[in-house]
Amino acid sequence: MGNLVLIESARAERSEGDKEELISGLETLLQRAKNGEIKGICFAGVDFSGDMTLGVLRRSACGLHELIGLSHILSDSLLESLRQ
């Protein structure tokens, strides 16, 4: 007989493992910003209650047009990942 898998418990286990990957990625971005390698960033986040955080952060060397272009590239990339 097969094992019973509850969707919520499976999601919770996956989320715990993914947390370290998320933190590592954010720490890498922070270090790159500290090193002066990043002049602007677009971001979107969603928490477990469904609340979203959206925004842009930029240095004076980053034009708003660059961030607008970046946001479109990000959108296209996300849509492309759905197709795969």
DSSP, collapsed to helix, strand or coil, labels residue 55 as strand
| pTM of structure | 0.71
Residues 23 and 43 occupy one common structural domain: no
Whole-angstrom CA distances from 83 to 58, 60, 77, 80 are: 31, 36, 10, 5
Position 34 pLDDT exceeds 90:
yes
Task: Report the C-alpha dihedral over residues 54, 60, 66, 71, rounded to 10 degrees.
Answer: -10
Judged against a pLDDT cut of 90, whether residue 70 lies above it is answered with yes
| One domain, residues 51 and 12 | no
Per the structure, the complete domain to which residue 20 belongs is given by 1-38
Tell me: do 66 and 50 sit in the same domain: yes
